[in-house]
A and B are shown apart, each in its own frame.
Chain A
Amino acid sequence: MTEMMSMEVQAERPLGRALDRVDGIAKVSGRAMYAADYRPASDLAEGFIVEAPAAPGRIRRLDVSRAEDAEGVIAVLTSANVPEQRTYGAPEDAGRFTQSHAVLQGDRVRHVGQPVALIVARTLEQARHAASLVEVEIEVDAEGGIFDALAHEDLAFAPDSLDGADDADTQKGDLARELAGSDHRVGATYHTAMQHAAAMEPHVSVAEWDGDQLTVHMGIQIVASAVKAFATTLQIEPEQIRIVSPFTGGGFGSKLGIHSEAVLAALAARVCDRPVRVVQTRRSVFVNAPHRERHRQELELGATADGTLTAIRHDNLAGMARDYAFAEAPASPTRASYAAPAIHTSHRVVAADIPTVDSMRAPGEAIGTLTLETAIDEMAQACGMDPLEFRLRNMPDVDPVSGAPFGDHRLESCLREGAQRFGWDGCVAPGSRREGRLLIGRGLAAAIRPNMLVGAEAEITLSPDGRFHVRTDMTDIGTGSYTILTQIAADTLGVEPGQVVTELGDSAFPKSSGSGGSFGAASTGSAVQDAASNLLSALRDRCAALGLDGNGALAFTLDSVRLGERSLALADLVGPEGMTASGSIDPDDFDTGQAGYSYGAQFAEVAVDAVTGEIRVRRLLGVFDAGRILNPKTARSQLLGGMIFGIGAALMEEGVIDPRSGAVMARDLADYHIPVNRDVPALEVHMLGASSPFANPLGAKGIGELGICGAGPAIANAVHEATGVRPRAFPIHLDHLLPNLPPV
């Protein structure tokens, strides 16, 4: 109740208010300038990618003569004429975002769909047609390629690093002994699907050179990662590169770093000596932007007769794109969700000849909770316990594997409040809840996502026009960055949000966290708060020097500053240039040794057609703890989006690579299914809202990826109650259920 009241009080101030998006009007009226909308001063040329039809291997023949002769063609870039770049993947220790992203290098082709040429023409149509005139033959390696990593376990190795986790493997306690001594054991092998971010805005870059200065307008999540990648790839200095990305039309991890279209645009602009735009086609995005890899996950659980977990084993296998070191951590939630004397986790990867694999929507947790929370449900059933009670019984006191104390732990609150709001009244026998042709099932699952804080900087200028200009290279990928950063600045400065102008997405601005890992709001927000606080101090000092001193808050109007009864003209205070202060956040200052997670509990009701096995979600309710809520409206939208992705992960999203050729075969939004409106019931979102001061100065925790966690397994558990089938492969297809459906 105290928490609720503190929320009420805060709502009067800018921070915590359900403020409409400050960029909302610009977006819905088409004035928001996305990368592809940018029009350079000189004539823009259009680039179109020619893809490798086969791989891995070498280009045996590449005939671009007909393309070069086609109408409107300005140039055809191939390995024969492409400017020099650093070798793809080098330097080896740079990390995947910073490493060279070289294209068209030599005659080697790593994966099907990789660019082998770029057509540059006056119009997109001309470029596209010319691309079809290119003749290319690939000599595939005699030994063929590895396309289905799961079929090559003999080649598996432990990755040097794991996304969002310290170690590939963890071994707490004596697993064999605990399993042997347990009264109940459940175990199964699960498969989670290859997935694509499939953002509305395809990957796009518009590159132009002014002498040795490169400017790229692009859709990107982390501006600084783009600067580094261009510098490494093109072997130029970061100071020579400017990235502009005021709006990004969705990223979901696929725009954390840069991709081939960006490098191609920069190289083509150099060769053609004019600005070049390369927009990946929808089909291209499925192979020239990263994907989430298919995983095989093995889970084994042990519990005592009274429903106390004794052991959890979670072993993972997946593909890793050759020369691009990224491995996802599906066992991340297994290491943190439940107490057990023995918890062993492992991750193995197989180097494969596939398109880039990278972070996607809650890497680790999205597909890790999918399997873990399904297995937990199965164990609850084995113990004869209600799945809610089983989870509550196994809540940890400390971070289960690391042993670190929790900064806070509100999973139990989420579960209890969710159960109450949903009306959870225990399980029924599978298949026993029936409405006509429909089999009704209910299920629940826990949600967890590690909270992160990364370094960020921002600056704020009070201009003579009376407005506070916030500047940072933070991005808004549809999440609401503009809005919450405006609120944070306004709240700290004691002004209304309308007096704050936030400018983002330009590498000329102070370096931020960027958007990713749900760390953007807390990290960059803390830097903005620091900058606002510093600016306020500097303004107070200047006011005092000008004779305006005393207690109380400074009140800013558009042309003056007031303290009590007295005021000062703004022009006299800030001069013609305005006054600027910087701020930052250093994560080391918050490294308290405490484990920090965002939490949630999700409850689903599904209806399964008893004749066809079609699964539709009828209800999905989530209760979430993401610390202090900066803006309930944008926060809710983040959670809604996540829950919808959870529906997709459970029931629809499935990328496929043909294991014979290595070709990605679902390459548009007709073949690659994401939920449509009719698949999404009225979602119910509740936020605890209590602050998490251990995490950062704002007390907010990550929210962007939280909604997806737990949503899928709640649906899977509901499918089990409806049909008696425990899903072992995701997405769950109706054909998995058909054999168990009642007779017609």
Chain B
Amino acid sequence: MKPFDYVRVGGAEDLAQASAGRFLAGGTNLIDLMKHEIETPDRLFDITRADLPTQDLASVEPREDGLRIGALVTNADLAASEQVRRRYPVLAEALLSGASPQLRNKATTGGNLLQRTRCPYFYDRARACNKRQPGTGCDAMGGFNRMHAVLGTSEACIAAHPSDMAVAMAALDVRVETRKADGTKRSLSLDELYRLPGDAPEKDHVLDPGELITAVVLPAQVPSRQAYRKVRDRASYAFALVSAAVVVELDAGRIRNPRIALGGVAPRPWRARRAETRLEGQAPSRALFLQTMTEEFEAARGHGHNDFKIDLAPRLVADMLGELTETTHD
């Protein structure tokens, strides 16, 4: 671990210099990466005791436009929130399927969004990784890539985003609120927040240095039929091979407002927008679900060990849609 300065952020004034370092919240990912010297910040800004006027980082509170979740709310507290369990069960399920109770007690909402990939080549400094060290290549291609992405990848990087929480949030169309070092604020969708690797896989997101996620806002109105399923090699404490968050409603026997987000298949939570468009207004049918999702994955590209995801993901989502819409097998 490289020696670093530690700054405990008290108020907004301490954030002015934040572009010179990294934010520390739960530390469940950043500290690991620092130990391995994959992340080597000169300075850590510990925000866990920060007190920002009008931007409470630590609570879950209803607002006109939805439910505002402070960036420091832990995964455990968020999953246990009565509001979340009642109105956004897909999010509670996703949170509880991630990590372990100990980690969920420490990990925060903002940190979870920005956690980095678990690609083993990213973690091994002796291997080529464009995300860790731009321009060195990608040893995951042609290497062990069972956990890797099949959609949204580039020639430079095939790493998958590891979050469960973010997949559910993608299906819920959340807004991410941020505060830049100079105090200006903005609000982003998850598709706006995350970048695809392209030729710069070292950049996971569009946030500026020193820009802090202050909150995530869940929309007030969401379909009530919600589900999260996570496919993994062991029953707990494993990253998703494929996960899916599906939110949908039925109106007079027709599918309305379907939102499908996938984890474990792309560098960011992957919205199956083509499938959503195709399903809107249709009568539910299991054959339609599988066909639609198979089409969604036509663009997918496997790398050997992860080829199975291209078959698995459509099966998973098709079955979830079938269950949520109470559609029997033909």
Interface positions of A (Cβ within 8 A of B): 51, 53-54, 71, 112, 125, 128-129, 132, 283, 437, 609, 611-614, 616, 651-652, 656, 658, 660-661, 663, 665-668, 670-671, 673, 675-679, 733-735, 738, 741, 743-744
B231 in contact with A734 (CB, 8 Å): yes
In the complex, what residues of B have CB within 8 A of residue A734's CB? 231, 233, 241, 308, 312
Per a CB cutoff under 8 Å, which of B124, B231, B236 touches A614? B231
Contact with A along B95-138 (1 / 0, CB 8 A): 00000000000000000000000101101101100000000000
Interface CB pairs A-B, < 8 A, 12: A53-B126, A128-B1, A612-B242, A616-B235, A652-B234, A658-B127, A665-B143, A668-B123, A678-B234, A678-B235, A734-B312, A738-B315
B233 in contact with A673 (CB, 8 Å): yes
Closest to A437 in B: B319
Interface residues on B, range: 35 or more
* Residue among A660, A665, A668 having the largest count of chain B Cβ atoms under 10 Å: A665
B57 CB → nearest A CB, Å: 28
Sample of 8 further A-B pairs with CB below 8 A, known A54-B126, A612-B312, A613-B312: A128-B1, A132-B37, A661-B139, A670-B237, A676-B237, A738-B311, A744-B290, A744-B315
Closest to A648 in B: B234
Contact with A along B291-330 (1 / 0, CB 8 A): 0000000000000000010011001101100100000010
Q: Does any Cβ of A come within 8 Å of B225's Cβ?
A: no
Per a CB cutoff under 8 Å, which of B1, B126, B289 touches A51? B126
The binding surface of chain B is classed by DSSP as loop
Cα–Cα, bound, A676→B308 (Å): 24
Closest to A133 in B: B2
In the complex, what residues of A have CB within 8 A of residue B237's CB? 670, 676
Per a CB cutoff under 8 Å, which of B37, B124, B315, B316 touches A663? B124
In the complex, what residues of B have CB within 8 A of residue A666's CB? 120, 144
Cα–Cα, bound, A743→B330 (Å): 11
Closest to A113 in B: B126
B1 in contact with A125 (CB, 8 Å): yes
A744 in contact with B286 (CB, 8 Å): yes
A665 in contact with B126 (CB, 8 Å): no
Cα–Cα, bound, A738→B144 (Å): 20
A679 in contact with B234 (CB, 8 Å): yes
A132 in contact with B234 (CB, 8 Å): no
Q: Does any Cβ of A come within 8 Å of B53's Cβ?
A: no
B144 in contact with A656 (CB, 8 Å): yes
Interface positions of B (Cβ within 8 A of A): 1-3, 35-37, 118, 120-121, 123-124, 126-127, 139, 142-144, 229, 231-239, 241-242, 286, 289-290, 308, 311-312, 315-316, 318-319, 322, 329
In the complex, what residues of B have CB within 8 A of residue A670's CB? 118, 237-239
B290 in contact with A677 (CB, 8 Å): no
A651 in contact with B234 (CB, 8 Å): yes
B237 CB → nearest A CB, Å: 5
> Total A-B pairs in contact (CB under 8 Å)?
100
B236 in contact with A112 (CB, 8 Å): no
* Residue among B1, B235, B312 having the largest count of chain A Cβ atoms under 10 Å: B235
In the complex, what residues of A have CB within 8 A of residue B234's CB? 651-652, 673, 675-676, 678-679
B120 in contact with A679 (CB, 8 Å): no
* Residue among A51, A616, A670, A679 having the largest count of chain B Cβ atoms under 10 Å: A670
Cα–Cα, bound, A652→B1 (Å): 31
Q: A665-B121, A666-B120, A744-B290 are in contact. Are A678 and B312 (CB under 8 A)?
A: no
A129 in contact with B233 (CB, 8 Å): no
In the complex, what residues of B have CB within 8 A of residue A71's CB? 3
B124 in contact with A744 (CB, 8 Å): no
Cα–Cα, bound, A195→B311 (Å): 28
Cα–Cα, bound, A287→B164 (Å): 31
A611 in contact with B319 (CB, 8 Å): yes
In the complex, what residues of B have CB within 8 A of residue A676's CB? 234-237
The binding surface of chain A is classed by DSSP as loop
* Residue among B36, B118, B308, B318 having the largest count of chain A Cβ atoms under 10 Å: B308
Cα–Cα, bound, A232→B30 (Å): 43
B231 in contact with A612 (CB, 8 Å): yes
Cα–Cα, bound, A678→B230 (Å): 14
B146 CB → nearest A CB, Å: 8
In the complex, what residues of B have CB within 8 A of residue A677's CB? 236
Cα–Cα, bound, A676→B315 (Å): 26
The 3 closest A-B pairs by CB, nearest first: A53-B126, A735-B308, A678-B235
Per a CB cutoff under 8 Å, which of A132, A661, A678 touches B236? A678
A712 CB → nearest B CB, Å: 15
Per a CB cutoff under 8 Å, which of B2, B229, B318 touches A132? B2
A744 in contact with B318 (CB, 8 Å): yes
* Residue among B139, B233, B236, B290 having the largest count of chain A Cβ atoms under 10 Å: B233
Cα–Cα, bound, A132→B34 (Å): 12
B40 CB → nearest A CB, Å: 9
A318 CB → nearest B CB, Å: 20
In the complex, what residues of A have CB within 8 A of residue B315's CB? 611-612, 738, 741, 744
Cα–Cα, bound, A620→B112 (Å): 36
Q: A129-B2, A666-B120 are in contact. Are A611 and B316 (CB under 8 A)?
A: yes
A658 in contact with B311 (CB, 8 Å): no
Closest to A733 in B: B233
In the complex, what residues of A have CB within 8 A of residue B239's CB? 670
A128 in contact with B35 (CB, 8 Å): yes
Q: A128-B1, A663-B126, A670-B118 are in contact. Are A744 and B144 (CB under 8 A)?
A: no
Cα–Cα, bound, A677→B229 (Å): 19
A287 CB → nearest B CB, Å: 11
B127 CB → nearest A CB, Å: 6
Cα–Cα, bound, A437→B229 (Å): 13
Cα–Cα, bound, A117→B120 (Å): 24
Cα–Cα, bound, A684→B207 (Å): 53
Cα–Cα, bound, A738→B123 (Å): 30
B1 in contact with A660 (CB, 8 Å): no
Per a CB cutoff under 8 Å, which of A667, A678, A733 touches B124? A667
In the complex, what residues of B have CB within 8 A of residue A616's CB? 235
B3 in contact with A129 (CB, 8 Å): yes
Cα–Cα, bound, A671→B312 (Å): 21
B309 CB → nearest A CB, Å: 9
Cα–Cα, bound, A183→B56 (Å): 77
Closest to A675 in B: B234
In the complex, what residues of A have CB within 8 A of residue B322's CB? 744
In the complex, what residues of B have CB within 8 A of residue A658's CB? 127, 139, 143-144
Q: A53-B126, A614-B232 are in contact. Are A665 and B120 (CB under 8 A)?
A: yes
A3 CB → nearest B CB, Å: 38
A676 CB → nearest B CB, Å: 5
In the complex, what residues of B have CB within 8 A of residue A665's CB? 120-121, 124, 143-144
B32 CB → nearest A CB, Å: 9
A744 in contact with B308 (CB, 8 Å): no
Cα–Cα, bound, A615→B265 (Å): 21
* Residue among B37, B127, B242 having the largest count of chain A Cβ atoms under 10 Å: B127
Closest to A673 in B: B234
B316 in contact with A660 (CB, 8 Å): no
Closest to A742 in B: B329
In the complex, what residues of B have CB within 8 A of residue A663's CB? 124, 126-127
A104 CB → nearest B CB, Å: 18
A716 CB → nearest B CB, Å: 16
In the complex, what residues of B have CB within 8 A of residue A609's CB? 231
Cα–Cα, bound, A734→B146 (Å): 12
A652 CB → nearest B CB, Å: 6
Cα–Cα, bound, A609→B232 (Å): 11
In the complex, what residues of A have CB within 8 A of residue B118's CB? 670-671
Cα–Cα, bound, A668→B37 (Å): 16
In the complex, what residues of A have CB within 8 A of residue B37's CB? 132
B236 in contact with A660 (CB, 8 Å): no
In the complex, what residues of B have CB within 8 A of residue A735's CB? 308, 312
B43 CB → nearest A CB, Å: 16
A605 CB → nearest B CB, Å: 15
In the complex, what residues of A have CB within 8 A of residue B142's CB? 660
A534 CB → nearest B CB, Å: 51
Closest to A136 in B: B126
In the complex, what residues of A have CB within 8 A of residue B120's CB? 665-667, 671
